[in-house]
Amino acid sequence: MSFASPLFLWFFMPATLVAYWLLPRFRNGIVAVASLVFYAWGAGAYTLLLLSAIAVNYAAGRVLDRIEHRRTAVLVAAVAWNLAILAVWKYAGFATQQIRALGVEGVPLVELALPIGISFFTFHHISYVVDVYRRSTPAQTSVVGFVTYIAMFPQLVAGPIVRYHEISGQLAKPVEGGLAAGFPRFALGLAKKVVIADSLAPIADAAFAPGAEMSTVTAWVGALAYTLQIYFDFSGYSDMAIGLGLMIGFRLPENFDRPYSAHSITDFWRRWHMSLSRWFRDYVYIPLGGNRHGPWRTYRNLLTIFVLCGLWHGADWTFLVWGLYHGVLLVAERLLRVPPGRLVTFLLVVFGWVPFRAESLPAAWNMLGAMVTWRPGPLDEFVAHAANPQRLAVFALALVVVLLPGRPLGPIVATGPRPLRAAVTWLAAPYAALLVAAGTFSPFLYYQF
């Protein structure tokens, strides 16, 4: 079930909010049940996998909270369980493909459908058991409260990644905000998704399609279209998740801070998918030693983090190359000690999105080659057909929006002037809803991760 679907907008969300407002004392139970229904609607039998992971990690947290000895063994077992789930369901197919490609006989090809949101709820579980192990927060004693944290439908399938210590107090006491702050934020995200991202999707899809005539113009139009699409799609989802959270009494962490305004790749990763960056920093980078043991260990740790970040996004060489690319850029920035500046940073990010989106590495090299060397020729006919005047207008507007300086719009809409909130609520939201009713929405890009 997508946030940008008629079923969610006109049935699921209103029913959940009404139940919460009528019975606020049972908020966690209402959210827990609604969240499991939300997940089961799209994941079906994989809901059992989610429930088994919840049961194991809830039990591990209770054990870690009670014992003083062998706590490390319990933590290792819990983390290994979570990583095993991820390894089997997300990476086993890729691993067996590579083994068979090497000519090893007798290895069966594993073909498993990817459970929705597995990367996100796995990281939530790991952060929970680590937080309890570190004594940074006590374990959740309520089963309902724990299910609410893990399965909370606003962030279950595409984040933001919420670490347990950030939200444990909110499970007991709702935060202020409610409908007045939450709905405008949700409406902004809906508009970013269906008005902007979905308008750019056909252009990007046509440019990255197999067989596209890859002139330099086609390559740059496609790369820029995807650069804008993925930002407005994912930041739109995050705005909707944060707005939904406020409407049910939870303040979820911010996930974007105008990332295309970054002046370096380091700065970009402080602004893009911030909850994922913080997760890797606190649970992998710092435990590996961070930057405390000299430059070469720091470079190794950075490359390790971004190889893992790439693989977290998907089991494919394209994601591995994308992660390694960003890791190398971060190492280069530390070696040179000179930030590349805003324009160069933006271009480096655009180049990086090409392997991230491409169907294969050869397809990525073909597009990148057209971007850095002149290949004459008109815009590919299918890209030209997709780039109608309305979509080109959205393309130009989106590019201007991401390049202009300023504060992130999401927090401003939630707490800013009433006229701004009213404009988003009564203008942007109805227009986006009409597009949803017309069936023009598409699934969020990060559902596949």
- Cβ 318 vs Cβ 355: under 8 Å: yes
Split at pLDDT 50, 70, 90, the class of 293 is confident
Q: How far apart are CA 434 and CA 55, in angstroms?
A: 41
- Give domain status of residue 307, yes or no: no
Q: Is 281 inside any structural domain?
A: no
Note the pLDDT of residue 199. Answer: 92
One domain, residues 399 and 352: yes
Question: Is the model's pLDDT at 180 over the cut of 90?
Answer: no
Output 438 or 32, whichever has higher pLDDT.
32
In the predicted structure, residue 415 carries a pLDDT above the cut 70: no
Q: Cα(152)–Cα(35) distance, rounded to whole angstroms?
A: 5
User: Are 119 and 212 within one domain?
Assistant: no
Residue 124 and residue 13 share a domain = yes
Percent of the chain beyond pLDDT 90?
Answer: 67
pLDDT band at 158 (very low <50, low <70, confident <90, very high): confident
d(Cα 232, Cα 236) in Å, to the nearest integer?
5
Task: Please give the structure tokens belonging to residue 285.
Answer: 């980078």
| Amino acid at residue number 17 | L
Does the structure show a pLDDT above 90 at 175? no
Mean pLDDT of 81-105: 88
Q: What is the pLDDT of residue 63?
A: 96
Residues 51-64: b if buried by 16+ CB within 10 A, e if exposed: bebbebbbebbebb
pLDDT digits (tens, 9 = 90+) for 125-155: 999 999 999 998 899 999 999 999 999 999 9
Number of helical (H) and strand (E) elements in the chain, helices listed first:
23, 0
Residue 198 lies in a domain: yes
Domain end marker among 174, 201, 217: 174
CB atoms within 10 A of CB 384: 15
Residue 86 is predicted with a pLDDT of 92
Enumerate the active-site residues: 313
pLDDT bucket at 98, cuts 50 / 70 / 90: confident
User: Could you tell me the pLDDT band of residue 435, with boundaries at 50, 70 and 90?
Assistant: confident
Say whether pLDDT at 298 is over 70. Answer: yes
Mean pLDDT (whole number) for 251-278: 94
pLDDT score, position 430: 78
Place of tokens 């197919």: 93
- 247 shares a domain with 141: no
Listed range (70-84, 273-287, 296-310, 406-420) with the worst mean pLDDT: 406-420
Asked whether residue 276 is assigned to any structural domain, the reply reads no
85's tokens: 């789930």
Q: Give the range of the structural domain holding residue 129, as residue numbers without chain letter.
A: 6-174
The residue out of 121, 152, 174 marking a domain boundary is: 174
Q: Is the distance from CB of 203 to CB of 222 less than 8 angstroms?
A: yes
Contact call for residues 320 and 304 (beta carbons, < 8 A) = no
Whether residue 43 is contained in a domain is answered as: yes
Q: Is residue 137 part of a domain?
A: yes
Task: Name every residue whose Cβ is closer than 8 Å to that of residue 18 and which is 6 or more positions away in sequence.
Answer: none
Is 82 found in the same domain as 29? Answer: yes
**pLDDT: which is higher, 407 or 238:** 238
Positive/negative CA dihedral, 80, 82, 85, 87 = negative
Indicate if the pLDDT at residue 111 is higher than 80: yes
Tell me the average pLDDT across 48-73.
94
- The answer for residues whose C-beta is within 8 angstroms of residue 36's C-beta and 6 or more apart is 47, 51, 147, 151
Distance (Å, whole) CA 132 – CA 295: 31
Write down the pLDDT at residue 220: 97
Residues 216 and 162 in one domain: no
Q: What CA–CA distances, in Å, run from 323 to 43, 122, 259, 327, 442?
A: 28, 20, 17, 6, 26
> What mean pLDDT, rounded, does the chain reach?
90
| Same domain, yes or no: 13 and 91 | yes
In a domain, 301, yes or no: no
Q: Is residue 82 part of a domain?
A: yes
Taking residues 105-120, report their average pLDDT: 86
**What band does 424 get if pLDDT is binned at 50, 70 and 90?**
confident
pTM for the whole structure? 0.92
Residues 36, 153 within the same domain: yes
Write the single-letter amino acid at 419.
P
- pLDDT for the residue 365: 96
End residue of a domain, out of 140, 156, 174: 174
Q: Residues 230, 369: one domain?
A: yes
Which residue in this structure is represented by tokens 């139009």?
Answer: 221
pLDDT at 440: 63
Number of domains into which the chain is organized:
2
Helix (H, G, I), strand (E, B) or coil at 276: helix
Question: Mean pLDDT over residues 234-256, rounded?
Answer: 93
244-267 average pLDDT score:
94
Tokens, residue 335: 């070696």
Whether 86 and 20 map to the same domain: the answer is yes
pLDDT of 189 strictly over 80: yes
Give the pLDDT confidence score for residue 441 in this predicted structure. 63
- Structure-block tokens of residue 266: 């380091």
Q: What is the pLDDT of residues 330-374, one digit of tens each?
A: 999 999 988 899 999 999 999 999 999 999 999 999 999 999 999
Q: Do both 13 and 103 map to the same domain?
A: yes
The answer on 183 and 156 residing in a single domain is no
- Assess contact for 444 and 158: CB atoms under 8 A: yes
- Structure confidence at residue 294 (pLDDT): 83
pLDDT at 438 over 90: no
